[in-house]
Structure 1
């Protein structure tokens, strides 16, 4: 009983430490593996002595195997095949030619600089061929780079993991069975990749087909069915050929992800949570079992080995693999610098250390220490400097992305589109209503008659390069779905939508980075009616440091009364859609709509025509606008061209 309590306590400590490390890393915006390493070593035998992973015995190997399977499946599930298609040649080269270059270069560096025997040197090189997806994924969420570079790094991290793990097994088999020739090693590698690929492909297709037709299952149960199916495919592949299960899980994840499941978003969230838990527990346990003395015993030669891998082998590999890719030198430098190692390297190295020791072969502890040294240096040096390197190379799309893709061709969205257009920013409208699309075309706006869920149309509209995605159809729930899909598929810098103020919706909003557009509970149909009937004025005001509180209060009072809607904010030269939770700052220029029913009343009294227009005024004074003048076609352009504070143009409604 006491022994079982000790094992339970070990797992409790590992889970608590791992999740705590994730929380701290999330708060400080750094790769979580940094704190997972620190917590693991601190709690291990060289620290506080609270964690002793070796007490888990065979259980540690089981935890490692199943956790890595879940991690690789989740990586395959999140791979975007459309993005991979744009870099398919470079990705294929990195997974094949790049693997060979890293194996040869890393082996020579470990032998000549680290003074390892050739066999152990190449085993180390095989272990560090991989670039951990568990590090790359969080890193790219914090450091935004253009989609081609992100897709290449994510694809390499996922696809090369099973290749590297299987390659490591082949090299280990060669060491343990020294009489085996090179041909046997190549055949073993091919068999494992082939068997895993076939089982994963067929199994993933059957799993996706079952989920589409199993309408009687709840969403929660479907998530568990996927987990059980993935583990079943992993076990089947492992039974047929050892170490082929990793390839099976990756391929199964890719196939299931490409199956267009109706509950795909919930499935990805569930698998993402499992991955975070698996990575947290696994890395804490493995790093707690690391001997710091063994790392220091490696000497400076091992440090030079890792530096050579980072500054020489990786750049050569990237240069050759992306020779005719169309990537510019800035993108290639970033790819050359970002290649952190992660959980797969650590877990496989830990298992190999045990196997080598059991077979009486020296070098097991040294291999593990060198791999962990590689993880530490690559994560700390590359992970912590990635943001600075991206800014230096000007690869951050948020700093230069402008323009907007707007779903919905109602009068309000067309007005916003024209304001963007007159600021010389690209804007595209999308709607399924042919009449609304025709009106947009008459106003010289670029428009697609299609669904906002059509990924190909979104790509053609240029969502990958714009700064804002705005969903503002007349259906708030549809807008929220459109915005969430845009975040998941393309992750634009700013995603806003008109949707109801609902606690559940707001929770989802916060998780998916969808902001509520304009104001809470905007009655978009009402404001469209106001625009059509000419009951609005277009206004602009610049907030000043002196009197900022009064201006904010005045605006908020009009918003609460339903008389004013802030549309756009020009801040530091950037035009952006106003959001409901916006904190207005001094020097912000706010373009807004003000409800003014007087033009309609005067029209009725005078029997005038139904012409409508928007006028620009400055808050807090509201100037009356006579309606007898005709509507000016170039009103929006006049607003854009006049200096701030002097805009008194008229805009067609």
Structure 2
């Protein structure tokens, strides 16, 4: 809000004739910034880094200017005017012209440029899992075995260490920290699964990552409840994620199932072996958790939308050990 207000205050000092009088100069400066200055700065700064050529090209193409440039230009223009420096009055309109130009060019062209360079994640299907306890790691391993990227976050160092020993990318930290996003490598990650035993922490994690993932891809365990539908009264829907897996499948339920020997079973369905056959084989206690479509899209079971597995799809389900 403060930054927006500052932008308005600085821009209010501009007059249209000021911008019209520097149209040619602003276009030249804009072209020099986009085509020369930014690429040169990026390529020099990236010397010795592990960035690929395509990544360097893309970063070199992005340099939108914003409030810092506007504020600094305003201060410098005021000081230069006081010192009687010629043409100091064109500094602010020239800077704002570059701000508008870079934001417009990059905003319109960046998505296409990223796709052309093949550096954009068109359809990330991996999962960021909050909580790295024993059965959360089992879920992570099942997803990894099916070629989905997985990142885990936990405040328990032993859980993080164990996850890393199992070959899972795991980070020590709090999922509700405002700086956690900066420390995570989320390449290939398209959804969040909050699996901690703390219902409030799960909801806060969902809120913390709500700007990063689509609302439909924010999931958390349902709170412990005794009656059907009671979990819906836990909190407002816009303040939490979609409740995972099924009715009553809270942290304690899943912990008991895994502790008693239940395992995750990956099964590819076909015309000869349908979901009905799967039910006959593994019983009603088998719980479908994830579905992998023929297009390799990961579908997550929720309380509101149970899975509807069909031929050609792969099912990841929780089954009892004696049936596995």
TM-score grouping bracket, smaller chain normalisation: 0.5 to 0.7
Q: Distance in 1 between matches of 2:222 and 2:307?
A: 21
Identify the structure with the greater strand proportion: 2
Q: Secondary structure at the match of 1:399?
A: coil
2:278 maps to: none
Q: How does 1:541-560 map to 2 (within 5 A)?
A: none
Q: How does 1:44-443 map to 2 (within 5 A)?
A: 277-357=1-81, 360-397=84-121, 399-400=123-124, 402=126, 405=129, 407-410=131-134, 413=136, 416-417=139-140, 419-425=142-148
Aligned-partner Cα distance in 2 for 1:536–1:583 = 20
Tell me if 1:522 matches 2:246.
Answer: no
For residues 530-541 of structure 1, what are the structure 2 equivalents within 5 Å? 530=257
Q: 1:312 to 1:430 in 2, by over 3 A?
A: closer
Residue 577 of structure 1 is matched in structure 2 by 300
C-alpha distance in structure 2 between counterparts of 1:388 and 1:335, whole Å: 14
CA contact (8 A) 1:541 1:591 kept: yes
TM-superposed deviation, 1:475: 3.9
Match of 2:273 in 1: none
| 1:377, distance to aligned residue in structure 2 (A) | 0.8
Larger Rg: 1
CA distance in 1, matches of 2:148, 2:192: 13
State the 1:473 CA deviation.
Answer: 3.9
Stretches of structure 1 that go unaligned for 5 or more consecutive residues are: 1-276, 543-561, 596-611, 614-630, 632-649
- Contact map agreement 2:245 2:289 (CA 8 A) in 1: yes
Distance 2:89 2:52 in 1: 41
- Judge conservation of contact 1:518–1:567 (CA < 8 Å) in 2: yes
- Which one scores higher on RCO, CA 8 angstroms, separation ≥ 6? 1
C-alpha distance in 1 between matches for 2:301 and 2:64? 38
Instruction: Give the TM-score normalised by structure 2.
Output: 0.65
* Count of aligned positions: 290
2:272 is aligned to none
Change (3 A) 1:298 1:531: closer
2: distance between equivalents of 1:586 and 1:307?
Answer: 53
Aligned to 2:194: 471
Task: Calculate the TM-score normalised by the size of structure 1.
Answer: 0.36
Distance 1:503 1:529, change over 3 A: closer
Whether the aligned pair in 2 keeps the contact of 1:334 and 1:390 (CA below 8 Å) is yes
> Following TM superposition, by how much is the alpha carbon of 1:366 offset from its aligned partner in structure 2, in angstroms?
1.9
CA distance in 2, matches of 1:278, 1:499: 37
Asked if residue 568 in structure 1 is aligned to residue 290 in structure 2, the reply is yes
Residues 296 and 423 (structure 1), Cα distance of their counterparts in 2 relative to 1, 3 Å cut: same
- Structure with the larger helix share: 1
Question: Quick one: distance in 1 between partners of 2:170 and 2:27?
Answer: 58
